[in-house]
Amino acid sequence: MSIFQGSAVAIITPFFEDGSVNYPVLEELIEMHIQNHTDAIVIAGTTGESSVMTDDDQIEVIRFTVEKVNKRIPVIAGTGSNVTAHAIELAQRAEAAGVDGLLIVTPYYNKSTQAGLIQHYTAIAKSVHTPIILYSVASRTGVNIAPATVKALSQVENIVGIKEASGDLSQIAQIAQLCGPDFDIYSGNDDQTLPMLALGAKGVISVLANVAPKTVHDICQNFFDGNVAESRRLFLDYLHLANTLFIEVNPVPVKAAMNLMGYAAGPTVPPLFPMEEANLEKLKDALRAHQLI
């Protein structure tokens, strides 16, 4: 039930100034990614600011993306919640919209135990047929998915992988060792894509791919093709830009970058506010270094 291999963009959601979704620009971005060989689209994730959307708006963004992609590449929907029943409802509605996969973050703020995580994810998985990618990002949620918990959840039929954003390569190696090659691991951090590919990761769910889609695809594809030196060259060449996209909390810098590049990405929704001027200048320098502005 593998969903994709390579680079999945954690796509931004373009907004108008009033906070409504700019669907014409979203369609433009979808087409840009397909033309630049992005391997999958993750819609309504953290980078897509799903946390500021109503449920209906979130599902409509997902439905729109599924319709416009039209099966050309996989579409994966972010449907996590800190309430199990709510996560089930979002997962079922996204499944009805026709997504190819679900990305489900750990419950945040409530800080479930590891046993609770097993129950939470198992309940969601049993409520749908769509393949599920777990999402472990303790820096945002306060909850880490321990390797033994990942192993237990990998036994659930439609839990097929994990987006690992713990930043702990030793933990990721342990997950790979425990779960084996049939369980897909994806990098959740652009600055760890190449090391994680070396550990057997299937690809990356990438913020950098918003501004450099072909490059992130090529980092992965060259690695898979055995051109490790070229993969490493590209990875190291874009490492500074990848890190600069996190100079302030995501997705503030990447939306600023998209606006600077001429895409009408619009604002982030408060409490995410425009970048500090000094950081914006650093972002501009990093973009200029790759002739992106």
The residues that are catalytic are: 135, 163
Rounded Cα distance between 130 and 76, Å, is 10
CB distance 224 to 5 below 8 Å = yes
Give the N- to C-terminal CA distance of the chain in Å, as an integer: 39
Question: In b/e form, how buried is each residue of 118-143, taking b as 16+ CB within 10 angstroms?
Answer: bebbbebbebbebbbbbbbbbeebeb
Helix (H, G, I), strand (E, B) or coil at 187: strand
Strands 132-136 and 159-164: parallel
Could you say which DSSP state residue 271 is in? Answer: T
